[in-house]
Chains A and B, each alone.
Chain A
Amino acid sequence: MAISIEYVVRETGGNLWRNRLMSLAAVLTVAVSLSLVGAALLIKQGVSTATSQWQGGVQLLIFFQPNATLTEKRSVATQLGQISQVKSFFYVDKAQSYQEFKSLMANEPDLLNAVTETQIPPSYRVVLKDPAEAPSIGQIFSGQPGVKTTEYNFGAIRTMLDLSSIAQAVIIAVALVLLLSASVLILNVIRVGIFARRREVSVMKLVGATNWFIRIPFMLEGLAQGLVGALVAMAGVFGIQALFNYAINHFNVKLLSGFVITSHDVLVTELFVLAVGVVVGAGGSAIAVRRYLEV
């Protein structure tokens, strides 16, 4: 099958230009939906970073001195094992803690530069049978050799955690719905475009065009629309991130403290947005063109 690149480029470009209003509609649909999906993902990641220490139902943190000895840590572990109120506990070493610290403090480079991994305290994360016991159990350990401090999740964190798990579920659901509606919209926009050109398609078939010959310009058209839409959405995601950071830095909202979107989160989100835009664009047009290709 000989398809000249020149033909494909000319045909795709011509179609995009001829249906420029439709193309614009498709691009905007992709851009808006994917921006929203991207924003939802950023919020989800932000919330999950902010509460990372408290995930898994952890209610009590026991921080060690950075130079605490193995014996001191073992002593704490043994005691934890003997307390009937303790449901479970696990150790987080310096390296893990440092990673956590880095993502929590991503917005404060000065602090990040001032602290090295060796200064970060390792800790035990403790899950209790009854969260109300956290202060009294924390009391036992504060002041013990090697222990720097204890922290238990006071009301605000508890609230935030509850809110965040609900929020995350809602956000994921919204993102899925948005993604689905974006796909359907793109498919429809391309379908309308193809419907307008069904005559052209039928003539192509009459003169013996192969299905791929007909399909490729349409798919490239969808791909181009998805790609441009995704690029706009990527810019949108950057904008939304900037907005978040501004809000976090300028309004002292307790609930937002620790709400951090790392550059890694942004990168992942951007790549996701790009991939979805491309797949939805090309895939949508392939599906849309299929029914006109039945021989």
Chain B
Amino acid sequence: MIRLEGVSKSYKAGPKALTDVNIDVDRGEFVFLVGSSGSGKSTLLRLMLREDKPDEGRIWVAGKELSQLAPWKVPYFRRNIGVIFQDFRLLPNKSAFDNVAFALEVIGKSRKTIATQVPQILDLVGLSDKMGRLPSELSGGEQQRVAIARAFVNRPLVLLADEPTGNLDPDTTWGVMRLLERINRTGTTVVMATHDVSIVDSMRRRVIELDHGTVQRDQTRGVYGLGV
């Protein structure tokens, strides 16, 4: 589902963000990307989303070779990818319902489809009673649920998550993680960058550790730190 071959990337300022990264992720896998700040996790996610291009190497996501992808095809590629962020990135002046509906409107879905799919997905994330609320009227955990609903409403093949629990307290974090697991069980490949040791340790999923832009460790059923 995701394949990186000899991927390197550097930005104008600073050292190389990624050096010769090789990763293979199968359909339906749940992968944690761990590593300290600046280890290259976010760069990796940006490259997978084709927000940026690698200097060297090749990347395949959801059957597309990203460096070969024409710019005008990028939006269509992104429709197969869901993304969530630490800061949720909801539109502040739209209700929970409208935020999710927006993702469908943008890709030209009919009003009828929107009217049936949005309540369904909000029910799935447990927000069916808060559809009309603005993001400012929702808690952090609820906002992230809206963001997940928006990312998942198109049934993407891949879900990329950049520190999705970074702003949440432990209880809320678990709620979000259970949701991501549930999405993963539907066959969606999940790649999640995180700093949260307890999540990684207790979920026992594949762990890829990055350090200064190189893959230090790639372990199935791994934990956050070494020495276990």
Contact = CB atoms under 8 A, between A and B. Distances in A.
Contact of B108 (A3, A200, A205): A3
B121 interface: no
A210 B74 CA distance: 8
A1 B72 CA distance: 12
B150 A295 contact: no
A18 interface: yes
Q: Which of A1, A203, A210, A211 has the most CB of B within 10 A?
A: A203
A114 to B, nearest CB: 67
Contact of A202 (B71, B89, B150): B89
Interface string B83-119: 1000001111100000000110111100100000000
A21 interface: no
Interface residues of B, number: 26
B79 interface: yes
A91 interface: no
Contacts of A154: none
B75 interface: yes
A136 to B, nearest CB: 76
A206 B83 CA distance: 7
Q: Which of B71, B74, B75, B77 has the most CB of A within 10 A?
A: B75
Interface residues of A, number: 21
B9 interface: no
Nearest to A207: B103
Contact of A210 (B49, B72, B102): B72
B89 A209 contact: no
B102 A203 contact: yes
Q: Which of A200, A205, A208, A211 has the most CB of B within 10 A?
A: A208
Given A295-B50, A295-B71, A295-B74, A207 B89 contact: no
Contact of B107 (A205, A208, A211): A208
Contacts, number: 56
B102 A205 contact: no
A213 interface: yes
B212 interface: no
A7 interface: yes
Given A3-B108, A7-B105, A207 B72 contact: no
A200 B102 CA distance: 10
A200 B150 CA distance: 14
Q: Which of B76, B108, B111 has the most CB of A within 10 A?
A: B108
A203 B91 contact: yes
Contacts of B49: 206
A200 B72 CA distance: 19
A3 B109 CA distance: 9
A86 to B, nearest CB: 68
Q: Which of B74, B105, B154 has the most CB of A within 10 A?
A: B105
Interface of A: 1-4, 6-7, 18, 199-200, 202-211, 213, 295
Given A18-B93, A203-B90, A206-B78, 20 more contacts: A7-B105, A199-B91, A200-B91, A202-B89, A203-B102, A206-B49, A206-B89, A207-B78, A207-B106, A208-B76, A208-B78, A208-B79, A208-B107, A208-B154, A209-B106, A210-B75, A210-B76, A213-B75, A295-B50, A295-B71
